[in-house]
């Protein structure tokens, strides 16, 4: 994993910075619906970033696409149920 990060510093830097930005935004908002929108936006970004990362590396397959899609959906549903049950 460390080798992967070293080889793709730019891509992982973008992911890291957007993650930090999302955490700051999440903590900065007081309303649950605003926080949930941050989570939705981050999930969409992560899914897109993953696809672009695999396209650049020329190893994007249908299985990889479905894996990231399912992880994104699972994360969204889990976070919604756990942290925002009344939304």
Q: Domain spans of the chain?
A: 2-83
Q: Is the pTM of this model over 0.75?
A: yes
Is the pLDDT reported for residue 83 higher than 90? no
Q: In 3D, which of 6, 51, 46, 57 has the Cα closest to residue 22?
A: 46
pLDDT tens digits for 28-66?
999 999 999 999 999 999 999 999 999 999 999 999 999
Is the pLDDT reported for residue 2 higher than 90? no
What is the C-alpha separation between 31 and 55, in angstroms, rounded?
A: 36
Query: Under a CB-based contact definition with an 8 Å cutoff, are residues 76 and 40 in contact?
Result: yes
């Amino acid at each position: 994993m460390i080798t992967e990060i070293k080889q793709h510093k730019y891509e992982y830097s973008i992911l890291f910075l957007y993650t930090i930005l999302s955490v700051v935004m999440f903590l900065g908002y007081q309303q649950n619906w605003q926080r949930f929108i941050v989570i939705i936006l981050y999930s969409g970004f992560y899914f897109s970033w993953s696809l672009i990362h695999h396209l650049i590396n020329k190893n994007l397959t249908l299985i990889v696409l479905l894996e990231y899609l399912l992880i994104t959906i699972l994360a969204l549903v889990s976070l919604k149920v756990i942290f925002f049950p009344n939304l």
